[in-house]
Structures are given as C-alpha cells and as structure tokens.
Amino acid sequence: MEGVRKAYNGTPVLSIGRLEIPKGAQWVITGQSGSGKTTFLNLVAGILTPDTGTVTVAGTPVNLLTEAKRDRFRAEKIGFVFQTFNLLQGFTALENILLGMLFAGKTDRARAESLLDRVGLKDRVGYRPSELSVGQQQRVAIARALANKPEIILADEPTGNLDPKTGESIIALLKEICLEGGETLVVVTHQPQVMRSFKDVTDLSCLSGP
Amino acid sequence: MSLWTIVLKNIAQRKLSSTLTSASIALGVAVVVAVLAIKAESREGFSQGAFGYDLVVGAKGSRLQLVLNTVYHLDDSPGNIPYALYERLKTDRRVRLAVPVAVGDFFLNHRIVGTSDRLLRDFEVQRGQKFELAEGRLFAFDEERLRRAMAGAEEEGVFEAVVGARVSGLPVGSTFVARHGGDFGDAHDEKWTVVGVLKPTGTANDRAIFINLESFYHIKTHRAEQVNLGKISAVLLQTKGPHAAKDLAWEINNGPEAMATVPAEVVVELFEMIGKVDVLLLAVSMLVILVAGISILVSIYNSMAERRRAIAIMRALGARRSTVLSIVILEAAALCFLGGVAGLVLGHVLTAVSAQVLASRAGVAIAAVAFRPEELWVLGGVVALGALAGLVPALRAYRTDIADGLSPTS
C-alpha cells in the first residue's frame, strides 16, 4: 500500500504512508479500536477502494480494477477468515467450501474433501455449522479460505470468538498450512497472545501517511 | 455445487412460506388449466354429440331446450308435435332419414326414449359410425302396431328396450319399471325387458334407454288419460345436404305446427353464452396467480433483511452483484415453477373429476389427461411472473454493501 487514505462520511479511518508485506510472509496487523484494521483488510480484498493511493496485491493494482474484476480477483486470489466464521447455515461443511470455489468458476469436490481432512474434519463433511463447535466452524472457514489456492489469506480477528486454547490451535493451523502452501498470511488482531506468535507485527497507528 | 443448489437451499430453508406461496400459484394455475381443458373438451364433446342431427323438429319454443332434450337427453321436452308431421317428413324428398322420438319417462336418472328401430339401425351417431350392439338384439318395432296404439287401440303391448353403454344394472334379459317425469315420479305398471346393450358412442346416447315407440302408447295410464295420443316429442332428421336442411327448416319454422333447428348451431350459441362465464373464471384465476406472485415478492423481500449477511458473505467470497441478483430472481422463478407444475397436475385432477360429472350428467366425454400446448404458455407465464416478482428483492440484494453486511452488528 502506498499513500492510502480512506474516510467515511468525511471522518478519516485509515491512513497508510507505505506498507509492504512480502510474498509468503506471516504478518500481524494490529492497532487500537477504530484504527482501521478491518478497513485495511477490506482494501486488500478489494471490498473497498481507497480515496487516495494504491493497493497492490500479488502484483495487481486492486484499487484500479472494476468492481466485477475485483470480485473475480477476490474469489481467485484472496482467502478470508472472519471472526464470526461467516459460514452459510443452510449448507454443510463441504458445501461451504464448494461455495467458496463456485464463485471462482470451478468446484472440485475431491479438493474440498481433502481440505476438510487437512483441517482435521474428515468425519464432519455432512455437518451443518450449527452441528459444529466454534473451533470446528473456524476450521471449516480456514478450509474454505484455502479452497481456490489463494495468494493471500486475510484473517480478521480469527480467534476473537474462541477460547484461548482453541484460538492457539487455530493460529497454529493457519501458520502451518500457509507455510506449507506458500500463501501470504495477514492476521488482524488485538490479542497479545496472538501477536506474540508472529515475528512481523505492524501497528496501523504508526503508519500514518501524508 | 451450482447457483441452483443455492436457490434450492434458500427455498428449503423457508419451507413454510415457500410451500404456501407455491400452493397459491398452484391453485391459480389449476383453475386456469381446468377451465381451458373443460371448455375445449366439452365444446368438442358437445359438438361431436350434435353430429348426425341435421335438423331436430319439435314443439315451438326454446331451441336450446329442444336440442338439450332431444340430442343430449337433458332438460324437459318443450312440448309435443303431431305424429302426422313425422309421417309427412318421412316421405319428404329432402329427407334422407326421419326418426320419431317420444320422451317423458325415466329409469333411475336415465332418460327413456321411445323411438323406432331406424334410430339404432340407420342413424349415423358419429362420423362414419352407427350404433352398434355390444350384446343382444334391437327391440322389435312395428309401425302398424304403432299407428294402432296411437289411435288408442287396446291390444297387448310389446315392451322391449335397448340400453346405452353407460346404463348400469340392466343386462340383457333384465326388466325395469319406468317412472313418469323423473326418478321420484309415478311408476308405470308395465315392465320393459332389456333385449340389447349398445356399444359406447362417446355421446349422451350412452346414458339413455331406447324403447320401441309403440310401447310408449301401450302404457295403461297413458291410454287411460289419452296422454299424447297421436303426438310425439320430436323428429330427428338427416337431410340430403345442407341446402335441403335450410329449406326444410324455413318451411317448418314458418308453419304453425313445429319448429326446426340445427343442433350444431345451438351448440355454438350455447358456448358463446358459456364463454362469458369462462372469461370470468379465467380472470379470477389470473387474479389468484397475480396475488400469489405479489406474495412471493413480499415474502422474499422481507427475507432480504435476515439474508443480508449471507449475501455479504457470498460477495466477500467473490460473488458478483449480478450473481446474487440472479440467485434471488431464480428463487422466485423456481417457486413459481414448482407451483405451476403442481397446478398443472391439480388442474388435470380437477378436469378428471369434472369429466366424471359431465359424463354422468350429460354423456359428454372429456379427455382429462390430454396435455394441451397452451398449458406450456401458462407455465411459462407463471415463471416469468415469478422472475418479475423476484426483481424487486433481487435489486435489494444487488445493492448490499459487503462491509456493512459483514459487520458484527448486521
């Protein structure tokens, strides 16, 4: 990101002079409440566009793409893990992963099943989110995020709704999988125990731009 | 996994409202299908039933009543005409076949028709098809005995009958008693013997019982009261061409004794009258479908608030605005399709039930399961209505802001 500014109704919410996260890195973004952490992730994912500046992801200037191209880019290149999991309730664990693949234009049932196996939920293929524990739901969300072999995984407070032990296992799983696959991992968190497990941490409030 | 999977799951998640809205669509479609089928088939059936009757001659009065009574064995006879008129018409150069009929008695709800054997022997009841016996023989008919009976002569009568294919409970060799005027009328003392059963003709004649005409005048109560002596209810004519029929009809209608009418023309007039009722029924059923479409719109629109997050999730996963729009429109169209298909089936069931009633009351056969091409148009129209109804809530989905939709408070 370079020279990025974003405001809502005239109120600045994010200002980044320059931030570069290398490919394959595992990075934490932190900051006080209201410092624009979620806005940051939304800019990277192309959900939002900055008022000024450029956002380049895997060599693509995301903010310059049309909305439809940003949607496609997000489907193919970005994997999202949310604090509240955001699984679709009417769909099974397997179907939630297939849904992630659908919008990238390809569904691969075998890959979806292997991803569930990778996150330790091989025997939960047909379970709906309401039938899974919170930790299991977040694992399904991680599998969904990996469905299309993205360039980057964005995790927005992935342990926010989990107990410390479960949260620790989720962070460990994310780091392990991304290290194996070479995906860049960006975790937004304000939890000290999560920050401690990462080498690279950036506080957004220290990145004010011009 | 496809968009259709998402659509069907959305429908399944709201089972009750999906079922109710589809059911209301089904109801409207069923009425449309039934009205279209019954109208077309009954018109065909009534028209076919009128085949072979170039002219019907009866007492002056309502043409519709005469045709309904004589051709379809419904309604009361409008009155009597002299037997002498039949004898004149029989020898008229313009007439190919003349058949006298006398009505007024019933067995259960089957009309008893006194006639000559020429009706069952020579009359073409369908194109290229005459009456055929399934069993037994025709009744014995003697024109000389008829003349003597009409003149009031006292002699032993011959009481024989041939029954139509849909008259149940009267096999060959059985006997029955006739009642005057209807099922609850006074019973005559005489008993008729069934000597033959006809094959089905697909007309109202399948429900009738044909007796030798002279037996009508041998009924003791008729003789005692001198009822209808020298008179008959009607004459059925097959003429030597349409010009002959027109010519003859003009002559009879301008005379004092009787009126002549072409049954096919009366059927057309009848259906023009009924047509107004059909239009009303169709309008009502279209209204039902429209209201159902609106209820689909309201139902899906109201569900958009609770689906905002799900839509935002799909958008976050990379679904385009047009994709979420399509999902909502497809959902509404699918509900209408399901209701439409159910309505087509229900419509044919309704038609089948009506067919039974029409067959038993009017002897008109309706093909209940015959698929009509216009039903495809009805289904297509209903699906299009559904897509249109889905457009308003779809636009709401289209405009969903991802960031707002994903926020913890949404």
Kindly report the nearest CA distance between residue B319 and chain A, in angstroms.
5
Question: Which residues of chain B have a Cβ shorter than 8 Å from any chain A Cβ?
Answer: 1-3, 5-6, 9-10, 12-13, 309-310, 313-323, 402-403, 406, 408
| CB pair distance less than 8 Å for A90 and B10 | yes
Angle in degrees, CA B56, B59, B65, rounded to 5: 70
Kindly report the nearest CA distance between residue A71 and chain B, in angstroms.
5
Q: Specify the 3-state DSSP secondary structure of B124.
A: strand
Does residue B111 share a domain with residue B27?
A: no
The residue out of B207, B234, B261 marking a domain boundary is B261
pLDDT in tens, B19-50: 998 998 999 899 888 888 887 777 777 776 66
pLDDT in tens, B289-324: 888 888 888 888 888 888 889 999 999 999 999 999
Does residue B69 share a domain with residue B35?
A: no
Q: How far is residue B198's CA from residue B205's CA, in Å, rounded to a whole number?
A: 9
- The bridge status of strand B187-198 relative to strand B175-180 is antiparallel
Q: How far is residue B28's CA from residue B51's CA, in Å, rounded to a whole number?
A: 35
pLDDT recorded at residue B250: 93
Of all residues in chain B, the percent with pLDDT exceeding 70 is: 92
Does residue B393 share a domain with residue B276?
A: yes
Q: How far is residue B243's CA from residue B233's CA, in Å, rounded to a whole number?
A: 25
Angle in degrees, CA B145, B148, B154, rounded to 5: 100
| CB pair distance less than 8 Å for B309 and A38 | no
Kindly report the nearest CA distance between residue A86 and chain B, in angstroms.
7
Lowest mean pLDDT among A22-26, B142-146, B178-182, B320-324: B178-182
Q: pLDDT band for B279, please (50, 70, 90 cuts).
A: confident
A161-171 burial code (b ≥16 CB/10 A, e <16): bbeeebbebbb
Does residue B202 share a domain with residue B133?
A: yes
Q: pLDDT band for B224, please (50, 70, 90 cuts).
A: low
Reading chain A (210 residues) residue by residue, the pLDDT tens digits are: 999 999 988 888 898 989 999 999 999 999 888 888 999 999 999 999 999 999 999 999 999 999 999 999 999 999 999 999 999 998 999 999 999 999 998 889 999 999 999 999 999 999 999 999 999 999 999 999 999 999 999 999 999 889 999 999 999 999 999 999 999 999 999 899 999 999 999 888 776 655
Q: Is B145 exposed, middle or buried (0-12, 13-18, 19+ CB in 10 A)?
A: buried
Does residue B293 share a domain with residue B191?
A: no
pLDDT recorded at residue B380: 94
- The bridge status of strand A26-30 relative to strand B110-115 is unpaired
Q: How far is CA B112 from the centre of its chain?
A: 22
Phi/psi for B345 (5° steps) reads: -65, -50
Does residue B325 share a domain with residue B176?
A: no
Q: How many residues does chain A have?
A: 210
| CB pair distance less than 8 Å for A103 and B403 | no
What 8-state DSSP symbol labels residue B184?
T
Look at residue B51 and tell me whether its pLDDT is greater than 80: no
Q: How far is residue B385's CA from residue B300's CA, in Å, rounded to a whole number?
A: 14
**Cβ of A48 under 8 Å from any chain B Cβ?**
yes
Q: Is B201 exposed, middle or buried (0-12, 13-18, 19+ CB in 10 A)?
A: buried
B21-49 burial code (b ≥16 CB/10 A, e <16): bbebbbbbbbbbbbbbbbbbbbbebbebb
Q: Which domain holds residue B156?
A: 55-261
| CA-based nearest residue in chain A for residue B8 | A90
| CB pair distance less than 8 Å for A83 and B408 | yes
Q: Which of A47, A76, A89 sits opposite B402 (nearest CB)?
A: A47
| CB pair distance less than 8 Å for B317 and A100 | yes
Does residue B324 contact residue B46 with C-beta atoms inside 8 Å? no
Q: pLDDT band for B223, please (50, 70, 90 cuts).
A: low
The complex scores an ipTM of 0.92
Does residue B302 share a domain with residue B164?
A: no
Look at residue B227 and tell me whether its pLDDT is greater than 90: no
Q: Mutate which of B317, B327, B406 to disrupt the A interface (most A C-beta within 10 Å)?
A: B317
How many other CB atoms are there within 10 angstroms of residue A196's CB atom? 9
Among all chains, which residue has been given the structure tokens 């390809």? A106
pLDDT recorded at residue A185: 96
Does residue B108 contact residue B176 with C-beta atoms inside 8 Å? no
Kindly report the nearest CA distance between residue B383 and chain A, in angstroms.
25
pLDDT recorded at residue B183: 66
Phi/psi for B3 (5° steps) reads: -60, -35
Residue B36 makes CB contacts below 8 A (sequence gap 6+) with: B282, B372, B374, B375, B378
Q: Which of A39, A90, A103 sits opposite B317 (nearest CB)?
A: A103
Does residue B287 share a domain with residue B249?
A: no
Mean pLDDT for B155-164 is 86
Look at residue B397 and tell me whether its pLDDT is greater than 80: yes
Mean pLDDT score of chain B: 86
Q: How far is residue A161's CA from residue B277's CA, in Å, rounded to a whole number?
A: 65
How many other CB atoms are there within 10 angstroms of residue B70's CB atom? 26
Mean pLDDT for B61-67 is 90
Q: Which residues of B touch A74 (CB under 8 A)?
A: 316-318
Does residue B256 share a domain with residue B126?
A: yes
SS3 content of chain A, % helix, strand, coil (to 5): 40, 20, 35
Q: How far is residue B88's CA from residue A139's CA, in Å, rounded to a whole number?
A: 100
- The bridge status of strand A200-203 relative to strand A26-30 is parallel
**Cβ of A198 under 8 Å from any chain B Cβ?**
no
Angle in degrees, CA B323, B326, B303, rounded to 5: 105
pLDDT recorded at residue A159: 92
Q: Which of B5, B320, B408 sits opposite A84 (nearest CB)?
A: B408
Kindly report the nearest CA distance between residue A181 and chain B, in angstroms.
20
Q: Is B18 exposed, middle or buried (0-12, 13-18, 19+ CB in 10 A)?
A: buried
Extract the tokens encoding B122: 């020579």
pLDDT recorded at residue A10: 87
Of all residues in chain B, the percent with pLDDT exceeding 90 is: 40
pLDDT recorded at residue A135: 93
Extract the tokens encoding B51: 């085949």
| CA-based nearest residue in chain A for residue B400 | A47
Q: pLDDT band for B142, please (50, 70, 90 cuts).
A: confident
Does residue B239 share a domain with residue B289?
A: no
Q: Quote the crossing angle between the two packed helices B374-398 and B321-362, to the nearest 10°.
A: 150
C-alpha dist (Å) from residue A1 to A8, A39, A137, A155: 19, 13, 32, 18
The residue out of B245, B261, B277 marking a domain boundary is B261
Extract the tokens encoding B215: 């037996």
How many other CB atoms are there within 10 angstroms of residue A182's CB atom? 10
pLDDT recorded at residue B382: 92
Q: How far is residue B130's CA from residue B35's CA, in Å, rounded to a whole number?
A: 32
Q: Specify the 3-state DSSP secondary structure of B163.
A: strand
The residue out of B243, B261, B279 marking a domain boundary is B261
Q: How far is residue B379's CA from residue B255's CA, in Å, rounded to a whole number?
A: 54
Angle in degrees, CA B276, B342, B385, rounded to 5: 65
pLDDT recorded at residue A137: 95
pLDDT in tens, B100-133: 999 888 888 899 999 999 999 988 887 678 899 9
- Of residues B367 and B54, more confidence is placed in B54
Does residue B228 share a domain with residue B139?
A: yes
pLDDT recorded at residue A60: 93
pLDDT recorded at residue A97: 95
Does residue B27 share a domain with residue B59?
A: no
pLDDT recorded at residue A54: 94
B339-355 burial code (b ≥16 CB/10 A, e <16): bbbbbbebbbebbeebb
Question: How many domains, in total, are found in chain B?
Answer: 2
| CA-based nearest residue in chain B for residue A44 | B316
